[in-house]
Every structure is written in C-alpha cells, then in structure tokens.
Amino acid sequence: MTKTKTEEVIDLKPENITEDQLNKIQDQVKRINNFQLEVGIVETKKHAILHQIGSIQNEILETQKELEEQYGTADVNIETGKINYPENGEADKKD
C-alpha cells in the first residue's frame, strides 16, 4: 500500500473586519444607545408632565365647583372674568 500525500488546505478567509470597519460599527451602536437613552429621558419627563397636567385638571374641576356654588355656573370668560349666565337667565346658584 502506498501512502498518498495529502495537501494541507489553508483557509484564506479573514478572521476579523478592519479596524476602521470595527470603529465605524462601534460608533454607530454607541450613537443608537445614546439616542435611546435620550428617548428614555424624554419619556420620563413626559410622564411627569402628564401627571402635573392631571393635577391641574383636578384643580380646575374644584374651581368650577366653587364657581357653580357661588354663581350658579362655571361658564366664565377667562380673559375678562365675565360670567356667562344661561340664556334663560336661571342660574343654579346654591345658597
């Protein structure tokens, strides 16, 4: 039996991307991460602001109740303070 010599196959495929390509990808991922962090900060602020709006809306409801009790209506021109009584002239003033 004769031994045959097998040739060793060398894999010429690169093992790594270039340094420039790596830096480019790392920079892109870093920028995405930074923007995602910014979005999180904005969403947190948005959430807090929405809670503040809800609180002010509750204050408005309380003020409307006070106006209705005192004047029979909460329909007021917010620029002049003029009370807009109903057309029939009957306000539901509660004494």
Q: What is the residue-averaged pLDDT of the chain?
A: 91
Share of the chain above pLDDT 70, in %: 89
pLDDT at 75 over 60: yes
Would the pLDDT of 2 be above 80? no
Which band of pLDDT confidence, cut at 50, 70 and 90, is reported for residue 88? confident
Helix/strand/coil (H, E, C) string of the chain? CCCCCCCCCCCCCCCCCCHHHHHHHHHHHHHHHHHHHHHHHHHHHHHHHHHHHHHHHHHHHHHHHHHHHHHCCCCECCCCCCECCCCCCCCCCCC
Range with lowest mean pLDDT among 19-33, 34-48, 77-91:
77-91
Residues in the chain: 95
Is a pLDDT exceeding 80 seen at residue 22?
yes
* C-alpha distance from residue 48 to each of 25, 31, 38, 51, 82 (Å): 35, 26, 16, 5, 34
- Which residues, in sequence order, are bridge partners of residue 83? 76
